[in-house]
Amino acid sequence: MPARRTVLPKVAAIGSVGVRLRSFTHPAEVVWILLVIVIPLSAGQPRATPFMSSLLSLPGLLELALVLASGLSVAWIARKSPIQLVRRLRSPWIMPLAAYYGLGLLSAVFSQFPLYALAFSAEASIGLLLSIAVFGGLTDRPHRSSLYPLYFVAGLFCAEAAISWILVPGSAWIVDTRGSARLAGALLHPNQLGFWAALLGLGGVAYGSAATTARRRVVPLMMLGLAIPVLIATRSRTDLLGFAVGTLVLLILGRRWKWIAAGTAGILVGIAALPGLALRAFAYVNRGPQAPLLAGRLAIWKYVLRHSLSSWKGVLLGEGIGTSSRVLRRAVARWPFPSHAHNLLVEALNNVGIPGVGLVLASIVSMGLRIAAIVWRNRSGAAADAAQLAALFILVLTPSLVESSFAGRANSYGFAYWALAASCYAQPDPGVRPR
């Protein structure tokens, strides 16, 4: 009898943990997480071909399977609540995205690279729909943040890079075209790894600043302890800028004036006391004078703009989603890895023409107004999710100046933007929801 009393509580405890884990993650969320992780593997670094042209490789087969699973997940969720899904698609910040990818399918028909453009358009469309289904409140988990899958993926990427850094440092770093060593891990380009590290760091700042006890600050401190070294080692300047501005926004909305004052004072004292170390740290992140922020990008923008504006088809329809890499391959002698246009609006112009630029701007402006409304409703002390949406919105848009972000083929920036767009609708703020 005593043995039975000892065993039964253990079995019950294990069972309760299993039930909690099962309720913590929806199957569609698992598919979304796997798709975000697998997409960079489909054709190596940088990703130069769509999944349809790499089916003979294991990553290509896995990605195709996940794309199909994504479509089934969307269909399964939509079958249960089709009206909700349609309402989310009609929201003023998601509808322009849906129209953008829909026009991408039309542009692919008239493109010089039709199969290539169709593959990426279909992949991006399914990624958007799956993100809406997962983050838009259709798979609500009331006991945790709606942004959980984003932080989970960020933690996985950062953990993989940190483990690679420790165990196989020779393969965890890459040397870019200007001779700068940057942490990449085995899965991502340093810029995208830096983005996920900044996102994880912002999550740590958000939850840490909102924690009321030392015990609740343990996990946020672990998030920051993992994210910051990885972010610095990637030497991604735009992601560092996005993290700094996002952190400032989080602290201002959370009214953490003492934290802001202490951080500012610490930085100023550090620069004054150790100017040489500060200059070396800046030179490390800036990757030296041989790597200016717009290195090569001005020439890329000029080339893509000239191509897009040279014909009525380029102005009105573009070449299709993700085709800027093909356009730039004509200048491959000048740019070793011309995988995209390195600017959100230039990429949109190449992909879907001037209508695409308008739709991208409409989505950004509408989403910014929605987030501002959410923050205003919580102005007495911005709720954790409201402050996070504002900070992550800034983080996602900052790389858009020098990266193609969500305007091109499915990538880390795109999945994060889609998740934020859907999460804006899921916020409990009926006064601002679209009717």
- Domain assignment present for residue 309? The answer is yes
- Domain assignment present for residue 410? The answer is yes
- Domain assignment present for residue 10? The answer is no
- Domain assignment present for residue 16? The answer is no
- Domain assignment present for residue 248? The answer is yes
pLDDT along the chain (435 residues), means of 10: 44 40 67 85 45 54 83 83 80 91 91 86 89 78 69 93 86 74 84 92 87 85 92 88 90 78 69 59 54 64 86 88 80 59 89 94 94 80 72 91 83 90 70 41
Beta bridge partners of 174: 182
Distance (Å, whole) CA 63 – CA 217: 37
> Among 296, 343, 342, 346, which residue's Cα sits nearest to residue 318?
346
- Domain assignment present for residue 3? The answer is no
**Which pLDDT score, from 0 to 100, does residue 431 have?**
43
Q: CA Rg, the chain, in Å?
A: 22
**Nearest 5 degrees, angle CA 402-CA 404-CA 408?**
175
- Residue owning tokens 């600017």: 343
Beta bridge partners of 182: 174
The residue segments making up the domain with residue 217 are 29-44+51-426
**Which pLDDT score, from 0 to 100, does residue 387 have?**
83
**Which pLDDT score, from 0 to 100, does residue 95 have?**
92
Question: Is the N-terminal amide bond of 399 cis, ω within 30° of 0?
Answer: no
- Domain assignment present for residue 143? The answer is yes
Cβ atoms 254, 382 nearer than 8 A: yes
- Residue owning tokens 């002698």: 333
- Domain assignment present for residue 434? The answer is no
When divided into structural domains, the chain yields a total of: 1
**Which pLDDT score, from 0 to 100, does residue 140 have?**
59
